[in-house]
Structure 1
């Protein structure tokens, strides 16, 4: 009897049959991260790398657009993004974002009380629409709990704390939608991410030439530079935090209802843009607001304060923010010259509560201004390194071209003499190219000296690491030798102050193109 009872319950306990990968990942890409789901399902994520690996490092970007008609909601302004997880291979952190919008199959696997008798068909690859903000939150919570109970080791972790699933913030969504560091800063700020062949290859929008008034299966079109599919069009995507108006350089203080991003299959091609953001009421009458054009994708993130050790590290780093220091490459400031120290002492000594509060406010404001100045300095240092590397590459290319032309000229002289018309033409071209390269070398030397004198070796070293992460992300890893060579020249000049133009040119001439 016991044996028959065991046999009767065994099928119910058997693990569900895994889904066909074409249902959850129709277009596999290198770098995909796959997490399991209930009912034998899976969900695919893409890593979003953010330069800067220190505790308080974040990355400044510009979000929004230039459409004046939508400026109240989408006006461009600075924002900051950071990753949740440490990238051990680079000076960067990252978060994970869904490669596709949540599909009907994935939504049912998490939200239904039981699994279906059969595996989902291709038809269940449709993006899940008709959901409310509360539905998306409930999905994220249930999926996070399932992962932590059934597949904890599959989740990325930070400082021993496992990640969890949630909706993306607006900045996380827009940074990823625009292409993150896979695109150049200029491309990042365009209306649309780079699209080879036009919008209809990347987004489902209104009209018979595209969506034709209905949602479409995920993963049929081309991905954005980060490998995200349907991030524009198909379904509006729900965001974690509430809507706020734009006030030119910042967001307004009032928080409203929820935000959807990216447009949907009823959005016209002309209105499709990365900056698109709409406010949607939480409720319609007495029930949560749901729309057939609204879906969502999720991210995997981690807490900020993951342990007591990290908390102490953050406290230490916070105390250094905005600390008064000497200008880059100047002698260290004396403690007695530190106005922050003076303000702190005055505030501590004050017996008047109002005066004490005002002094502490001035101290905080001064720290914030100094921190902002340091951020601007760091970005300028990185830009100088990037410029120098490109100038160095130009010198390398010029030197190789001149060497090749000189060999052609020499061969012509040997066969036809210096008065040969073709030899004279080569000589004129060679002299012209040499003059141009001499001018570029002077500009390179001026740029190098200014960079070396304006920024400390520590600042340049830190920004070099961030620049290399950015170049790797944009597919420009071949520029690393040029960045390294320029950095080497700067370090040598900072040490001996020798303007070694001939040596610098020789070094670039030795550097072979990757």
Structure 2
């Protein structure tokens, strides 16, 4: 497919991509294998009946090879309202894979949405259907959740009987295909461990224009018609059509708070070819009923022309005795370390709050122990020692409070200093750009080169500072709210004492931006820059 070298402006981009999409639609008629129209390094290819294939991409966690290695991330986005409220989750992998000398856990996500050709290759053609369906690379739609599960079951049975040696292994156990969980889907849709935290937080995980990657409603994209799998470019993990073309079923039951609350229908993720562009996002989720209809007309299994599915390659956990022993051995260290912060009740709380929960639990155990010792007549010496333990726990709470206060002040100061640095650099940039434009018009080559270098230097400073700025907010969010408020007040007093009026003015914006970050749990570097630019304007 032809690709433009430079795209200038949103309108121009849409015009160019509108033309390219016409070529893309024509291209699907050219001879190519439906199962993998966009081969890439790292593809895992599994055979299917009739010589067809199913392609998967690894989604690594980048958390090492420990038996309890988990990738913690936040699902959701504030733009989705209460249905997509940002929620911390922890995701594990299924297969331990060697990545050039180091081992890492991963699971495998289907590279494409399951196509009509793949579906009918496994399930058989309907009576009277054309053999051409076996070559179709349109996503399979109008199937129910139960149809998708039946397809996965039949394909697994075929693989076990005909191609077990092709499956990835977890210990002595071969993998199997299933629908992805909601967390697996969103982690992959956002770019997984292959992107930095700021990019991961974005609503849309692409730097370029959206029609280059996803099919959505309207003349700049799908023209409101279903499109072939794999025509557009993939995301950073090599996965195609994650956010558009068809909504994708997941294995998960719908809960408003993802993993807590009453369960409902099943979760479908992403948009489709009739979804408005503004609605596409990595967090988009809908509850789909298992059955649709009414009492008057009756009910039938839910199948839609806009809904399909892709598969995930997974494995069981307890593959053998050796695995069980490894998990057993690592459990205590995990539970006292990373695992202590995993329960839903404290998943988005500051570290100190998580520690307070554990301390409270320890104090409750201690009180029960003291009561039991008293009941059994344990003696004065034992009671005294338990009293010392209780006093030590109280002292630890005081020490932790002071540590929270010191940490919050340090990170608030860093955030304020980075914010002020950004403010100054953003004040410089318009002047440099104006001088550069004048030099270009005057044909002063040496000056153009010098100012171009200066422009790049200032822009580089801004980009680097935005990264540090967002990181300071993340660190600050790990401390309790009272400590953050006290830290900003303390630093404001310091600046006023030293007559730093400009810094005080910028600090107000920094504090407001942190407040928004703390509420949404998402970095908005574009919005932050825009606000600081407005503040820096003459």
- TM-score between the two structures when normalised by the length of structure 2: 0.55
1:28 alignment partner in structure 2? 39
**Pairing 1:396-415 to 2, within 5 Å after superposition:** none
User: Aligned partners of 1:101 and 1:128: how far apart in 2?
Assistant: 8
User: Aligned partners of 1:36 and 1:97: how far apart in 2?
Assistant: 16
Secondary structure class of the residue paired with 2:255:
coil
1:394 alignment partner in structure 2? none
The alignment status of 1:56 with 2:68, answered yes or no, reads: yes
The alignment status of 1:128 with 2:121, answered yes or no, reads: no
The alignment status of 1:76 with 2:86, answered yes or no, reads: yes
Which of 277, 290, 312 is residue 299 of structure 1 equivalent to? Answer: 312
User: 1:438-473: CA deviations, max 9, x gaps?
Assistant: xxxxxxxxxxxxxxxxxxxxxxxxxxxxxxxxxxxx
1:315 alignment partner in structure 2? 328
2:53 alignment partner in structure 1? 42
User: Aligned partners of 1:324 and 1:171: how far apart in 2?
Assistant: 22
1:254 alignment partner in structure 2? 262
User: Structure 1 residues 122 and 270 mapped into 2: Cα distance closer, same or farther (>3 Å)?
Assistant: farther
The alignment status of 1:145 with 2:157, answered yes or no, reads: yes
User: 1:342-394: CA deviations, max 9, x gaps?
Assistant: 959976995999xxxxxxxxxxxx9xxx9xx9xxx9xx9xxx9xx9xxxxxxx
Which of 212, 227, 238 is residue 227 of structure 1 equivalent to? Answer: 238
User: 1:205-237: CA deviations, max 9, x gaps?
Assistant: 011221112110111111011011111110000
The answer to whether the Cα contact below 8 Å between 1:104 and 1:126 also exists between their aligned partners in 2 is yes
1:88 alignment partner in structure 2? 98
1:92 to partner: Cα distance? 1.4
The answer to whether the Cα contact below 8 Å between 2:120 and 2:134 also exists between their aligned partners in 1 is no
The alignment status of 1:215 with 2:226, answered yes or no, reads: yes
Which of 273, 285, 306 is residue 265 of structure 1 equivalent to? Answer: 273
The alignment status of 1:288 with 2:298, answered yes or no, reads: no
- TM-score between the two structures when normalised by the length of structure 1: 0.58
User: Aligned partners of 1:57 and 1:167: how far apart in 2?
Assistant: 22
User: Aligned partners of 2:213 and 2:365: how far apart in 1?
Assistant: 56
The answer to whether the Cα contact below 8 Å between 1:23 and 1:122 also exists between their aligned partners in 2 is no
The answer to whether the Cα contact below 8 Å between 2:121 and 2:134 also exists between their aligned partners in 1 is no
User: Structure 1 residues 49 and 21 mapped into 2: Cα distance closer, same or farther (>3 Å)?
Assistant: farther
User: Aligned partners of 2:216 and 2:168: how far apart in 1?
Assistant: 35
Which of 107, 111, 123 is residue 111 of structure 1 equivalent to? Answer: 123
Which of 189, 198, 201 is residue 212 of structure 2 equivalent to? Answer: 201
1:507 alignment partner in structure 2? none
User: Aligned partners of 2:161 and 2:330: how far apart in 1?
Assistant: 35
User: Aligned partners of 2:52 and 2:154: how far apart in 1?
Assistant: 14
1:127 to partner: Cα distance? 0.4
User: Structure 1 residues 123 and 142 mapped into 2: Cα distance closer, same or farther (>3 Å)?
Assistant: closer
1:88 to partner: Cα distance? 2.1
User: Aligned partners of 2:285 and 2:254: how far apart in 1?
Assistant: 9
The answer to whether the Cα contact below 8 Å between 2:217 and 2:277 also exists between their aligned partners in 1 is yes
1:242 alignment partner in structure 2? 253
1:59 to partner: Cα distance? 0.8
Q: Which moved more, 1:281-290 or 1:120-129?
A: 120-129
**Pairing 1:487-502 to 2, within 5 Å after superposition:** none
Q: Which moved more, 1:122-131 or 1:260-269?
A: 122-131
The answer to whether the Cα contact below 8 Å between 2:243 and 2:282 also exists between their aligned partners in 1 is yes
User: Aligned partners of 2:171 and 2:202: how far apart in 1?
Assistant: 36
User: Aligned partners of 1:346 and 1:173: how far apart in 2?
Assistant: 44
User: 1:123-176: CA deviations, max 9, x gaps?
Assistant: 600000111111111111111111011100100011111000000001100011
The answer to whether the Cα contact below 8 Å between 2:77 and 2:283 also exists between their aligned partners in 1 is yes
Structure 2, unaligned runs of 5 or more: 1-30, 293-297, 339-360, 376-392, 415-456, 458-538
The answer to whether the Cα contact below 8 Å between 1:109 and 1:115 also exists between their aligned partners in 2 is no
